[in-house]
Chains A and B, each alone.
Chain A
Amino acid sequence: MLIVLGFLLSTISYSQEGITKHQIGLNASKFIFFFNEEANNLDVSYRYSMDESYSLRSAVSLDYSSDENAISDAAIRLGLDKHFLISNNWRFYSGFDLGYAQGVLNSNDRTTRKYSVELLAGFMFKIGKHFSLSTEPSFVFERNTIHNPNSFNPDENEAWTELSLRNIGQVQVNFHF
């Protein structure tokens, strides 16, 4: 615990010494067990800072399996956010993402597609020049469609809309360079 604290304090003192253009983020729930995983939180993200305020955002997830009874998922999100400096270590940012996700059930080719618009508000804690933790709750508008060529349900090509708050309590670990 003391070692971790020492590391944090020493790295904080070096923070903000330079501006980095690129940021790669990983979903913390993938490797820290006490963070609950949420499907909406994509696995890997990349952010490109156009200037001190604005960044282009992208994120992807891929979960492919050749197992007959598995659902293979892929998702991508693209967006823009604006940063507001609160202190040397804390930042607030807000922005939006446009998302597309597709899941295919291998056994019967049932395909689920999700088209989403997300409005997000995030907090980032910088740990030195190269690392940060962030969390970004979002308000999501999502349009879902299902196409199942093997279903007996004549209305199987259904569509529905969801509005929800997501990514509450989800944490991302970021590397800046």
Chain B
Amino acid sequence: MNLQAVKPLLSAFFLASLFLVSCESEPLAPSCTDGIQNGTETGIDCGGDCPPCATTVEEDKENIQKTFDDMLLCIRNIKESKGVDVLFRDFLKMSDGEVFNEDWVEDMSSTLNEVFDFERIEENNRIDFAFHSGIYTFNHVTNLWDKASASDRIEFHFPSEPLETTNDSEIIIDAYTDQEVVIDNETWYLPVQMHGLVRVDNERIVEVDWNNVVYDDNADFEIPVAWDVSVFLTPVTINTSLNRISSTEFDFDASFLDGDKCSVAVEVDFELLDDDIENLSNSSFKKVEAKVIVGDITVESLAGIAELLAIDNPTDNQINSLLDLRVLFNEVKIADLEIDTELEALVLYYKDSSSENAESYWRPFMEDLEDLWDEFFDFN
């Protein structure tokens, strides 16, 4: 066959194949540059997995206000939780700043001392877990505590309020390991690992998980230089950790989460001028970087904190010249925070050069907070 004769046929076949292949292939995956809102984007080619969408100053103000509103809802949820109900209303019976069950709580504590031996802890600077292990039960007939020793953990069973006729509350410490440390030439035994919980009506109210605590044994004042502590306080979980990166560098992280409105994180990375932790002072810091993240809003100063700490009574101008306080929304700067030396107030400067007193956000928040807890603490 003449090759020249079939050449047009082959070309046509090749082009048709290409057309068919392109028609049968999957639609193009969403990208951050396709000019349409698709995938996880919240705007055209922005938000979700793409770079954050640009916001207007009005939206920035709304987002800051929403963050304060969410924080208030978070704290309202805590106040209405079973933990607060049991502790403040039932157990302590707090109202208008007074503890009405104070005598009852003191009586229970002093009678517990007869079987638990708190003095032994004070004398030895140690919780001797093996010695104290046992089940301590409040006896409603004698109003005393009974101890059953056959237990490898410490359990307290007691009523949640004076009129309660059953032991509906329990505190359980089921794991405890300590370590000998020296503080000011005195020997102490401090926990390196612990697990405990509080239950009321079989519902978990508090749980503490204390792990990986490391004490600095390089001085005669041993302080924890690393830890990993988780506290569940219904309905929030508070995690804190301190990691020693080197002899002078530390990372501290804390979070406050309930899976709903409560979302607060604190991150502080710091470096000391030397490893003389025993003589730690305000001028011991070489570098401090701090972030507070509440929901989508971050307030941070990644510079100037160490220099500011070293100054006694810094002026407002010194604070402004050293700190780099910024407010971010989804990691994009939306405002600078500075002290206005004439107003003597913390002021937010937005990207359109407008400004407003930060007090306009936190003052109503603090007032709402006081109203919320006024039932117990009598702020007004």
Q: How far is the CB of A76 from chain B (nearest CB, A)?
A: 19
Q: Does B56 contact A (CB under 8 A)?
A: no
A87 to B335, CA, bound (A): 61
Q: How far is the CB of A117 from chain B (nearest CB, A)?
A: 18
Which A77-128 residues have C-beta < 8 A from chain B? 105, 107-108, 110, 112
Interface centre among A67, A71, A110, A112 (most CB of B within 10 A): A71
Partner of B276 from A33, A70, A105, A154 at Cβ < 8 Å: A33
Query: For chain A, which range describes its interface: under 10, 10 to 19, 20 to 34, or 35 or more residues?
Result: 20 to 34
Q: Does B317 contact A (CB under 8 A)?
A: yes
Q: Does B210 contact A (CB under 8 A)?
A: no
Q: How far is the CB of A69 from chain B (nearest CB, A)?
A: 4
A144 lies within 8 A of B287 (CB): no
Q: How far is the CB of B352 from chain A (nearest CB, A)?
A: 8
With A107-B324, A152-B336 as contacts: A162 and B315 at CB distance below 8 Å = yes
Residues 274-305 of B, flagged 1 when their CB comes within 8 A of A and 0 if not, give 00100100010001010000000000001110
Residues 317-329 of B, flagged 1 when their CB comes within 8 A of A and 0 if not, give 1001110100000
Chain B interface residue count, Cβ-Cβ cutoff 8 angstroms: 27
Residue of A nearest to B303 (CB): A69
- Chain B residues in 8 Å Cβ range of A110: 324
Majority SS at the chain B contact face: mixed
A152 lies within 8 A of B324 (CB): no
- Chain B residues in 8 Å Cβ range of A37: 283, 310
B303 lies within 8 A of A154 (CB): no
A143 to B147, CA, bound (A): 73
Q: How far is the CB of B194 from chain A (nearest CB, A)?
A: 36
With A70-B303, A144-B321 as contacts: A152 and B287 at CB distance below 8 Å = no
Which B residues lie at the A interface, using CB under 8 A? 276, 279, 283, 287, 289, 302-304, 307, 310-311, 315, 317, 320-322, 324, 333, 335-336, 338, 341, 349-351, 353, 355
Which A residues lie at the B interface, using CB under 8 A? 33, 36-37, 39, 67-71, 105, 107-108, 110, 112, 144, 146, 151-154, 158, 160, 162
